[in-house]
Structure 1
Amino acid sequence: MFFLSIASAFSCLVLACSGAVIDTRDTVITSDTFFYGQSPPVYPTPPMPGVGPWSAAYNKAKALVAQMTLEEQANITVGYASTSVCSGVTGSVPRLGWDGLCLSDAGNGLRSTELVNGWPSGIHVGASWNKDLAYSRALQMGGEFKTKGVHVALGPVVGPLGRVAVSGRNWEGISNDPYLCGQLAYETVRGIQEAGVITSVKHFIGNEQETNRSPSKNVSAVSANIDDKAIHELYLWPFQDAVHAGAGCVMCSYNRVNNSYSCQNSKMQNGLLKAELGFEGFIVTDWGAQHAGIAGAEAGLDLVMPSSATWGVSGGNLTIAVNNGSLAESRVTDMATRIIAAWYQMGQDEGFPDADLGMSEAYTTPKKVVNGRKAASKPVLLNGALEGHVLVKNVNNALPLKKPQLLSVFGYDAVAPPTMDVPFTGGSSSWIMGYEAYPNIPNGYTSFGIADQVARNGTIISGGGSGANAPAYISAPFDALQNQIYEDDTSLYWDFVSANPAVDSSSDACLVFINAFATEGLDRVGLHGELSSFEYDFSDSLVLNVAANCSNTIVIIHNAGLRLVDQWIDHPNVTALIFAHLPGQDSGRALVQLLYGVQSPSGKLPYTVAKNESDINVYMQSLPEGQYALFPQSDYSEGVYIDYRDFDAKNITPRYEFGFGLTYTTFEYSNLAISLLPNASTSFLPPTSAVLEGGVSSLWDVLVKVSATVTNTGTVAAAEVAQLYVGIPNGPVKQLRGFSKVDIPLGASVTVSFELTRRDLSEWDVVLQSWVLQQATYNIWVGASSRILPLAGTVVIG
């Protein structure tokens, strides 16, 4: 392994990067200070391994690339303008029958086109805690991408991980916990790619805030200064799961990591992703995230979107660099091979639909209308919407509703937006459910957010920006309620506008619908995509005003990320609360089934809800100041202690803990059994084994098996998410290392089983640069949340 002087990172913004190559293989690493705040360059780029499941695709790609000229190889590593509404397209090689790739947003469903579905967002998938459902959603959603001719789906999102509580893109991600995020990302990659579409897992890495995410004028992008242990145990963890699932593409992020831009960071791309994790696919920039020329290629970057000024039109400057000896031709060949191998790996060389039809720009030119929707998607859309709702308060069985005589509905979030705008305007437009047409309404919001982050023009089914999707329709809560009210012969009162509405005190129940919107980037008046705070005066006042006059006030929040509720949660008349997250287009239909007990809630929180902002370790984004005004720094000084890890370490009582969620029944846990497999290797270091997709293969060896019994002791059938936590010695108090969602009939018992791998039980040792087991006693807990763990045991390693 070779390292290049870190000082050169600031001089590599042009075509070539000069400077002596220093062999530091004998460097002694003594602590995380070797990495923190600086990113040691790692060269050369490991060539595509082309082994295991990728061997056939690799051999085909190698044969096709061998027929290409250098100019043709370079041509497919850059993006081009197109007549389609793909987010980006690559160059092509027509003489060899290779037409290039169409890459399109987003991880929550295809946007910028018609006749596709609006799927539950990443945070909603996380709240479902359902691996099978994550796979089914991905398979059906991936089928829509393929039908429309999209080769690369720009998702799933596993970064941001949710370090910054107010980050504008947390809703696109799955969970603040790397294990939960990684497990569901694994199923998402598997499902989309089994549909024949390449996943582009993003954003690699440290993209935890929107503020200063990109350079502007003389100010560099923020540097995420992360120590090596935190990178491995938190931020790299879900990417490792995605690579293990066979991800064909990874997207590098806008920000710097340890003061080197992500898309030219050789430690991250060459060292971690391609060498340590054995990544077989290609690395693509986020749109406009290239800030280097040949240095980026040498650092492991394979494809630039949506175009490249430094690599040049048709990648011509890459060709020049090879011819003048400043870039190895083998690197360009490897770039092209990785891109085309992913195309072969997903079977896109045979019968793949034409993106110029499915994604054509269209209301202005004649086109063939391509319907991406399939009947098989319907139950998956509905179940996906259902299972991401989390019931966290339900006093005296306020829910489910039982044919109320008078039902009152309040709040701007209860109804559909006043328009369904044209679902795309071409190019890279951010279409967000029609709200963009109403930027001038008093107290309204633009498509990129306002100060109080309240979307007052109607219910939200996703957040904003490139992660938003294009629903075929929106089932708003009020629309779905009216169907139920007809069946029950209920009288209905509503007020969607007033902050202090008139309330009929004879109402059997009052439903209050509020939301918390978030988005990437900046809005039109310079406000940041992050939530400005957790103080939502308009929404909180609405809840309190209704509760003052209604003894059975039930609150539903469509929240794009964390939302604090302590302004009103202890009010005696607030009897129930549902975090409804971002359910996709079947939002209202799913909610009404839950409100009326057709289905029992089964979601659990994929994050911790604090009582106060001051309880959150990393609440606000970092802003440049003083000596860092031109080179803003965000020091991840908390290490691995985010979310529940930090609450546990400081013994802070949350309002609602990670993993918490109620149903309409009760469960009892019993019969914990823990066994160390007799032939399991518990050596200090992982046994020597090949590096396959996801890293050293022995990391995935199962060492311990755990089982427990869960019994439904309540009154209705429901699903429970049994959770397993491990206390790794010298680490956080507990870490999620297993979960199982099971349907349990009334009075029945189900056995849940968990397998703990070497990776699950290891910590990252910075000095040894390896995952290591502790020769010690490990605590193991099983229960209903990170703080409700009735079963406890131990296992001795070593």
Structure 2
Amino acid sequence: MVAVKQITLFAGLAQWADAAEKVITSDTHFYGQSPPVYPSPEMIGGDGWEAAYQKAKAFVGDLTLEEKVNLTAGVPPNSTCSGVIPAIERLKFPGMCLSDAGNGLRNTDFVSGFPSGIHVGASWSKDLAFRRAAAMGAEFRKKGVNVLLGPVVGPAGRTVRGGRNWEGFSVDPWLAGVLVSETVSGIQEQGVITSTKHYILNEQETLRMPDANVSAVSSNIDDKTMHEYYLWPFQDAVRAGSGNIMCSYQRINNSYGCSNSKTLNGLLKTELGFQGFVVSDWSAQHAGVASAEAGMDMAMPGPADFWGGHLVEAVKNGSLPESRITDMAMRIIATWYQFDQDNGIPKPGIGMPSNVLDPHEIVDARDPAAAPALLNGAIEGHVLVKNTKNTLPLKKPRMLSLFGYSATTPDFFSPSRDVQLSDSWIFGKEAYNSNYLSPDGFATFGRNGTTFGGCGSGAITPALAISPFEALKWRAAQDGTATFNNFLSDKPDVDPTSDACIVFGNAYACEGNDRPAIRDDYTDDLIKAVADQCNKTIVVFHNAGIRLVDGFVDHPNITAVIFAHLPGQESGPALTSLLYGESSPSGRLPYTVAKHDTDYGVVLDPAQATGEFAYFPQADFKEGVYLDYRHFDKKGVEPRYEFGFGLSYTTFAYFNLSVNHVSGANTFPWPGGPIVSGGQTDLWDAIATVSVDIKNTGSVASYEVAQLYIGIPGAPAKQLRGFEKPFMRPNESQSVTFHLTRRDLSVWSVERQKWQLQQGTYKIYVGSSSRRLHLNGTLDI
């Protein structure tokens, strides 16, 4: 028996030793997985950049090598600008301020807190996306910010538990692309440069940066999936004129995102014809000459150990041609000229002191004219997914009882000289409570109060924010409604005379780590404890990502559920307007809510450093384009609430579907136009139109979100390719037309490296969600 045990032990040790030998210890193992593309293309100044290009050429022509290099990296700021490019005083160049972020200017005073990206996605509103962006851009400009570090279309939302999914618009690339285009246009019309980020495949926070002997995770992807899914919204941003692209932390096919010549030189600067400059994410640079040759133009927050004097030395010793430095400077200065920043923009970082508690010049960036965009943007990003027993809208209830930790403003919501408290305010951690963490030490929900926004560099620091409780109490006072509240107990007692009860919870997310889970027992049990005592229980979630509800949603007394997302400073007024019927809900889900977390498959969790890849973690995107509703369709899985779903206080009917070719449209399989910003010009030529009539058949005026899905031959069963959001009064009808472009109807050909218009029969679906498709037809090409 002893001998048998020894044999078993030796066999186990041998297996362990064999496994240890297989652990990859050098990144040379991965060389060649990301194709090299050199040299870095020089900007040519076409497509509306001609005047800026000529001005930059004259300016840069007067610079010394050292001055050109100084434009390519940040210096320590004397403000709360996230990054600063130094001035060149002899040429009257004032320098540049780059600042966070895509949901509002952060870490300063007298600014607004706008709805977060996920909230904009849930609004399905092009108009609100543009108006939000314009108002936000105006605030950044008043504070002397040259580059707004947003919007976000990476992460795209592949990893369901992703810690930064809330910063982006949607897991669907077409919806994200439309909304990022509107956002880029709105911001840049104010003369502020957008930094569309994080380019590209930055799909998890876990292992996003190297740590000790472990490299950052590698997002491994094929060319077809890259083009049809992840590059798609970046392409829309470039077409809209985004002046800056931010390269990402992680590796792409085992080459770091800010040193990846395939994605920067090949895809961005060649295929998409990008004319602006590429900036690193903060401390995302891991090479010197190599990152310059790969297409990165600016290092933030500074040159670190790679650029600065080392670039000067590299040019002088022949390691790097000066023409590359010149192009880096050209791209930066041409972008500055492109948005007229040589004319009238305030001093960089004005009114943004390093500590807002110190004496400083007051610059109030807010504009009363932005109030409708803030409020309506908050309203339309709420999604009503359940409403039974005529629970909503409320009609002057006699007694309303309020519960849950996410109803009130956190007790601390202010700048502070205390380092820990200051950090909480600066990065949006106010709701975080260290006593309520998951076993791995992260927060699934924020027990300290409501979440106006998410946590991290995309947080908001609004001058004024109104919580749901504050707004509801004011409304109750106007109506004479008795109101009880218990925001402390997880097993509260409920007054039996309550006409309705509202339970507030949230789903917390923070940059730097992925969410521990997409549901939690504490909140589910709180909801059920109230529902057991109240026959009309309304659940409101401020959710920074997907939040499952199957732990409670079928309880007979849970009669309404609202995903309130991250509404920004107008959270309370927006929710109150919806609850009382002053506005009809018009938000739609920009993602799919599953019944079980396992329904999402392999993309539920972030990749880890394990096995042979213990030092070089790998995230293999083997699912291709089959994410979210495409995955649920392919696998035949029934979701709890499908992508595009949302209720309103009225009903709509769809009729008269019409599918038509555009007369004279070129349906040759391959595009042939020249490359401009965004790609070949004829990718945006209209090929067909789809029209439908919609009628409001209910008794309440409301928006409807009409959605067009296409089944392309040889592609997923259906993909979003259009949406419109008409407002209709009772009995009113409107006609909606969707315009389908060559790009909308094409698939990516790896062999030809072009978009290919398919020959055959396309399936056409129009409806109110990805699964409520009221009309269908075909298009033959």
Q: TM-score, normalised by structure 2?
A: 0.94
Aligned pair partner of 2:510 in 490, 503, 519: 519
Q: Which residues in structure 2 correspond to 1:244-283 (within 5 Å)?
A: 244-283=239-278
- What residue is the counterpart of 2:490 in the other structure? 499
After TM superposition, give the deviation of residue 363 of structure 1 in Å: 4.2
Asked if structure 2 preserves the Cα contact closer than 8 Å seen for 1:690 and 1:696, the reply is yes
- RMSD after superposition: 2.0
- What residue is the counterpart of 1:608 in the other structure? 592
Counterpart CA distance in 2 for 1:549 and 1:452 is 28
Asked if structure 1 preserves the Cα contact closer than 8 Å seen for 2:428 and 2:453, the reply is no
* Pair 1:335-2:320 in alignment: no
- What residue is the counterpart of 2:124 in the other structure? 129
- Sort the Cα spacing of 1:318 and 1:647 in 2 relative to 1 into closer, same or farther, 3 A: same
- What residue is the counterpart of 1:621 in the other structure? 606
Counterpart CA distance in 1 for 2:237 and 2:568 is 23
* Pair 1:592-2:576 in alignment: yes
Aligned pair partner of 2:683 in 683, 688, 699: 699
Q: Which residues in structure 2 correspond to 1:195-210 (within 5 Å)?
A: 195-210=190-205
Counterpart CA distance in 1 for 2:596 and 2:434 is 32
Secondary structure class of the residue paired with 1:392: strand
* Pair 1:652-2:637 in alignment: yes
Secondary structure class of the residue paired with 1:577: strand
Alignment deviations for residues 210-250 of structure 1 (CA, whole Å, 9 cap, x no partner): 00000000100000001111110110000000000000000
After TM superposition, give the deviation of residue 358 of structure 1 in Å: 2.2
Counterpart CA distance in 2 for 1:281 and 1:450 is 41
Aligned pair partner of 1:789 in 753, 773, 779: 773
> Any unmatched runs of 5+ in structure 2?
1-23
Aligned pair partner of 1:353 in 326, 342, 346: 346
Alignment deviations for residues 333-368 of structure 1 (CA, whole Å, 9 cap, x no partner): 000010011111111101111134222224465421
Asked if structure 2 preserves the Cα contact closer than 8 Å seen for 1:717 and 1:745, the reply is yes
More off after superposition, 653-662 vs 532-541? 532-541
* Pair 1:571-2:555 in alignment: yes
Q: Which amino acid aligns with 2:498?
A: S
Q: Which amino acid aligns with 2:618?
A: Q
Asked if structure 1 preserves the Cα contact closer than 8 Å seen for 2:413 and 2:425, the reply is no
Alignment deviations for residues 358-389 of structure 1 (CA, whole Å, 9 cap, x no partner): 22224465421111001111111000100000
After TM superposition, give the deviation of residue 593 of structure 1 in Å: 0.5
Aligned pair partner of 2:337 in 341, 344, 353: 344
Asked if structure 1 preserves the Cα contact closer than 8 Å seen for 2:708 and 2:720, the reply is yes
Secondary structure class of the residue paired with 1:355: coil
Asked if structure 2 preserves the Cα contact closer than 8 Å seen for 1:725 and 1:780, the reply is yes
- What residue is the counterpart of 1:16 in the other structure? none
Counterpart CA distance in 1 for 2:697 and 2:581 is 17
* Pair 1:459-2:443 in alignment: no
Counterpart CA distance in 2 for 1:665 and 1:690 is 47
Q: Which amino acid aligns with 1:392?
A: V
Alignment deviations for residues 701-734 of structure 1 (CA, whole Å, 9 cap, x no partner): 0101111011000111000010000001111110
- Sort the Cα spacing of 1:205 and 1:531 in 2 relative to 1 into closer, same or farther, 3 A: same
Q: Which residues in structure 2 correspond to 1:290-369 (within 5 Å)?
A: 290-312=285-307, 315-363=308-356, 365-369=358-362
Alignment deviations for residues 137-176 of structure 1 (CA, whole Å, 9 cap, x no partner): 0000000000000000000000001000000000001000
Counterpart CA distance in 1 for 2:758 and 2:100 is 42
Counterpart CA distance in 2 for 1:575 and 1:677 is 47
* Pair 1:38-2:23 in alignment: no
Secondary structure class of the residue paired with 2:312: helix
Asked if structure 2 preserves the Cα contact closer than 8 Å seen for 1:85 and 1:360, the reply is yes
Asked if structure 1 preserves the Cα contact closer than 8 Å seen for 2:95 and 2:348, the reply is no
Asked if structure 2 preserves the Cα contact closer than 8 Å seen for 1:284 and 1:305, the reply is yes
- What residue is the counterpart of 1:489 in the other structure? 480
After TM superposition, give the deviation of residue 534 of structure 1 in Å: 2.3
Counterpart CA distance in 2 for 1:37 and 1:612 is 39
Counterpart CA distance in 2 for 1:435 and 1:146 is 23
Alignment deviations for residues 648-687 of structure 1 (CA, whole Å, 9 cap, x no partner): 111111000000000000000011111111211111111x
> Any unmatched runs of 5+ in structure 1?
1-6, 13-34, 522-528
More off after superposition, 574-583 vs 432-441? 432-441
Asked if structure 2 preserves the Cα contact closer than 8 Å seen for 1:49 and 1:278, the reply is no
Secondary structure class of the residue paired with 2:350: helix
Counterpart CA distance in 1 for 2:537 and 2:430 is 33
Counterpart CA distance in 2 for 1:634 and 1:773 is 31
After TM superposition, give the deviation of residue 37 of structure 1 in Å: 8.7
- What residue is the counterpart of 2:745 in the other structure? 761
Aligned pair partner of 2:108 in 113, 119, 128: 113
Q: Which amino acid aligns with 1:328?
A: P
Counterpart CA distance in 1 for 2:200 and 2:771 is 30
Counterpart CA distance in 2 for 1:390 and 1:72 is 52
Secondary structure class of the residue paired with 2:504: strand
Q: Which residues in structure 2 correspond to 1:134-149 (within 5 Å)?
A: 134-149=129-144
Q: Which amino acid aligns with 2:247?
A: C
* Pair 1:419-2:404 in alignment: no
Q: Which amino acid aligns with 1:578?
A: I
Counterpart CA distance in 1 for 2:626 and 2:594 is 15
Aligned pair partner of 1:669 in 654, 668, 671: 654
Q: Which residues in structure 2 correspond to 1:56-75 (within 5 Å)?
A: 56-75=51-70
- What residue is the counterpart of 1:78 in the other structure? 73
After TM superposition, give the deviation of residue 38 of structure 1 in Å: 1.6
Asked if structure 2 preserves the Cα contact closer than 8 Å seen for 1:149 and 1:354, the reply is yes
- Sort the Cα spacing of 1:726 and 1:37 in 2 relative to 1 into closer, same or farther, 3 A: farther
Secondary structure class of the residue paired with 1:210: coil
Counterpart CA distance in 2 for 1:424 and 1:655 is 46
* Pair 1:642-2:627 in alignment: yes
Aligned pair partner of 1:168 in 163, 167, 180: 163
Asked if structure 1 preserves the Cα contact closer than 8 Å seen for 2:686 and 2:741, the reply is yes
- What residue is the counterpart of 1:104 in the other structure? 99
Q: Which residues in structure 2 correspond to 1:392-411 (within 5 Å)?
A: 392-411=385-404
- What residue is the counterpart of 1:386 in the other structure? 379
- What residue is the counterpart of 1:690 in the other structure? 674
Counterpart CA distance in 2 for 1:80 and 1:671 is 61
Secondary structure class of the residue paired with 1:53: coil
Secondary structure class of the residue paired with 1:708: strand
Q: Which amino acid aligns with 1:374?
A: D
After TM superposition, give the deviation of residue 419 of structure 1 in Å: 2.0
After TM superposition, give the deviation of residue 505 of structure 1 in Å: 2.1
Secondary structure class of the residue paired with 1:79: coil
Counterpart CA distance in 2 for 1:388 and 1:437 is 22
Q: Which amino acid aligns with 2:153?
A: V
Percentage of identical aligned residues:
56
Counterpart CA distance in 1 for 2:583 and 2:130 is 21
* Pair 1:720-2:704 in alignment: yes
- What residue is the counterpart of 2:185 in the other structure? 190
Alignment deviations for residues 241-271 of structure 1 (CA, whole Å, 9 cap, x no partner): 0000000000000000000000000000000
After TM superposition, give the deviation of residue 472 of structure 1 in Å: 1.3
Alignment deviations for residues 257-293 of structure 1 (CA, whole Å, 9 cap, x no partner): 0000000000000000000000010000000000011
Counterpart CA distance in 2 for 1:678 and 1:279 is 31
* Pair 1:477-2:477 in alignment: no
Counterpart CA distance in 2 for 1:544 and 1:135 is 40
